[in-house]
Chain A
Amino acid sequence: MIKKIAALIIGLGLISTTALALTLNGAGATFPFPIYSKWISEYHKAAGTQVNYQSIGSGGGVRQFIAGTVDFGASDAPMTEEEMKRAGGEVLHIPTVMGAVAISYNLPGVVELKLDADTLADIFLGKIKKWNDGAIAELNPGVNLPGKNILVAHRSDGSGTTHIFSSYMAKISSAWASQVGAGKALSWPAGVGGKGNEGVTGVIRVNQGAIGYIELSYAMTNKLPVVALKNRAGKFVKPSIASTSAAAAGALKKMPKDFRADITNAGGSDSYPISGFTWLLVHKEQKDAVKGKALVDFLKWSLSDGQKYAEALLYSPLPENLQAKVMDTIKSISY
């Protein structure tokens, strides 16, 4: 009898340890959380592996990854050299999906609005203060622009969306680069801050004359008008899943081997200029063989079967030739 109980206890112990070994823990960016949680539930059905993902923000994800409390991190901004050094060993950036940052506005009666890089920069720098400013009018002939004050809306919380937006602004405007710079949180020259994409969306929706940057999915679900931006090829392009994928394809030639690429202001006539990757952060040398294999399997699945879930959630899947390159990197993980 005692033997039986002992065997049972040992058996239970084994089950729970194997179950534990197959639980992967990750933390980081909030922007890809909808697609990651979709992947996690689909992958659990397909492979039985349990993945926990906590969307605590990119900065938090990087910190937890460096501290070694999670099996993988996630970030909308690539890790810096110094951060990678502190994480120890070789760190791989695995791009998973892409997103676009839309410029939305609230001007009743104005359905189409075109802006170029300089005008956009001057608006967000607070230099252009009224909607009927000559610079805006020149780009929008025939549009009846009101003499309203412009209210710039930006994120008050640190965010990967801000990182992508400000990386673009710093590229196209030297005044922005020297005065404001690029980062997840900035010292804003103008406007008001809203908390989260929903906060900025709220500011735009209730204030006539407001303009702000939000993730494309928020502009679409709230049916807010979006600005057509002049890209490097000189064409005015609205943000969409297709124009974001085009930006990645345009940046492919110059893609660095570690995928820490900034694809804002990408070449190509159909590219939307403010788009970016989101990455999973993993160690190249996995210490735990069982977990390492589970992680690699999950990554492989995400980059292949997982990609088809992206568009329904308004993310852009990676272009196919990039998927192949990323797959090679995933295969280089040792465990």
Chain B
Amino acid sequence: MRKTGDAWFNLVTFLFALSIPLLLLLLVAILIGQALPAIKIFGAGFIISSSWDPVKETFGALPYIYGTLVSSLIALAIAVPLGLGAALYLAEVSRSRYKEYLAVMIELLAAIPSIIYGLWGIFVLGPLFGLSMLSGGVILAIMILPTISAISREVFRSVPNILKESALALGATRWETVKLAVFGPARSGILGAIILGLGRALGETMAVTMVIGNRPEISASIFAPAYTLASVIANEFAEASSDVYLSALVELGIILLLITMIVNGLARLLIWKTVGKSNIF
């Protein structure tokens, strides 16, 4: 009797666990089905072509892929040092009674709807950097800052005190302690925080589209307008009337999905490689 109960329990939880990857598969299958007309017409050329002309119905994804990757990289370049620095101050350095308020305020940034960031961006970043790749990157940086800093703060905090105390007991300075006894064991956690931030940056739509200038062009200057995958889908989907046009947009969605999957996969590899077995998280 007990054994059958266990078996049932096993089966039911297994089905629950299975349903999530199944959902993902279903999602991908639907996307591929919808994108099939565009895949058939443009083939691999879709990824390397820079022409996006809904009137002549020639579609290429390269400027969007470029815009997505570069704007996210700019965001990381700004948000990682800032976020980690803030987290370090809050978790390790500060002895102030008020640091909890500071932490709450940083986390509050995550609760602001992206359209508000976009509006702010139009009126503040627009005149400053123009409607450009840089403005898009800066907006994204601000948006992923709370993710990176909140998670890495938790990671820093969960480093066992004994590690820090040992370092201090060995005569390490404050910085050496942080370097050896905090950054060391927390490496994978920090990487995790950065990846979560990157995930949000890659997929963010509304705020970016309001400040990036929405121009599908690859330009060497980050002061020139650009365009991202998520933005063009959101912008053009509602009015895309022809089948080829619609399926080209869905194919952009598949590319975005692939990029996020590849980025996550690479990051996971990086964690395994750099951290190895000594990792405590």
Whether chains A and B associate is yes
Residues on A lying within 8 angstroms of B by beta carbon are: 56-60, 62-63, 83, 156-160, 180-188, 191-195, 199, 202-203, 206-207
A-contact 0/1 string along B209-235, CB 8 Å cutoff: 110011110000000010100011011
Total A-B pairs in contact (CB under 8 Å)? 93
A64 to B34, CA, bound (A): 17
A207: shortest Cβ distance to chain B, in Å?
A: 7
| A80 closest partner in B (C-beta) | B241
A63 to B246, CA, bound (A): 11
Q: Are B122 and A185 in contact (CB under 8 A)?
A: no
Q: Are A59 and B215 in contact (CB under 8 A)?
A: no
B203 at interface by CB-CB < 8 Å: no
Chain B residues near A157: list those with CB within 8 A: 234-236, 238-239
A158 to B235, CA, bound (A): 7
A333: shortest Cβ distance to chain B, in Å?
A: 24
A169 to B35, CA, bound (A): 32
A58 to B238, CA, bound (A): 8
Q: Are B239 and A186 in contact (CB under 8 A)?
A: no
B131 at interface by CB-CB < 8 Å: yes
Q: Are A60 and B238 in contact (CB under 8 A)?
A: yes
B21 at interface by CB-CB < 8 Å: no
A148: shortest Cβ distance to chain B, in Å?
A: 14
A202 to B211, CA, bound (A): 10
| A76 closest partner in B (C-beta) | B239
Q: Are A59 and B239 in contact (CB under 8 A)?
A: yes
Q: Are B209 and A195 in contact (CB under 8 A)?
A: yes
Q: Which of these, B123, B214, B231, B241, contacts A62 with CB under 8 Å?
A: B241
Interface of chain B residues 174 through 230 with chain A (CB within 8 A): 209-210, 213-216, 225, 227
A132 to B214, CA, bound (A): 27
| A191 closest partner in B (C-beta) | B215
A324 to B65, CA, bound (A): 52
Chain B residues near A202: list those with CB within 8 A: 119, 122-123, 126, 210
Q: Are B215 and A186 in contact (CB under 8 A)?
A: no
A331 to B260, CA, bound (A): 55
A207 to B225, CA, bound (A): 14
Q: Are A192 and B214 in contact (CB under 8 A)?
A: yes
A184 to B232, CA, bound (A): 14
Q: Which of these, A58, A181, A186, A187, contacts B51 with CB under 8 Å?
A: A187
Chain B residues near A160: list those with CB within 8 A: 239
Chain B residues near A194: list those with CB within 8 A: 210, 214
B215: shortest Cβ distance to chain A, in Å?
A: 6
Q: Are A192 and B241 in contact (CB under 8 A)?
A: no
Q: Which of B122, B131, B227, B232 gathers the greatest number of chain A CB atoms within 10 Å?
A: B131
Q: Are A185 and B236 in contact (CB under 8 A)?
A: yes
Chain B residues near A199: list those with CB within 8 A: 122, 210
Q: Which of these, A188, A195, A206, contacts B235 with CB under 8 Å?
A: A195
Chain A residues near B214: list those with CB within 8 A: 156, 192-195
A57 to B237, CA, bound (A): 9
A-contact 0/1 string along B40-72, CB 8 Å cutoff: 000000000001111110000000000000000
B109 at interface by CB-CB < 8 Å: no
Q: Are B213 and A158 in contact (CB under 8 A)?
A: no
B127 at interface by CB-CB < 8 Å: yes
A191 to B214, CA, bound (A): 9
A192 to B217, CA, bound (A): 11
| B54 closest partner in A (C-beta) | A185
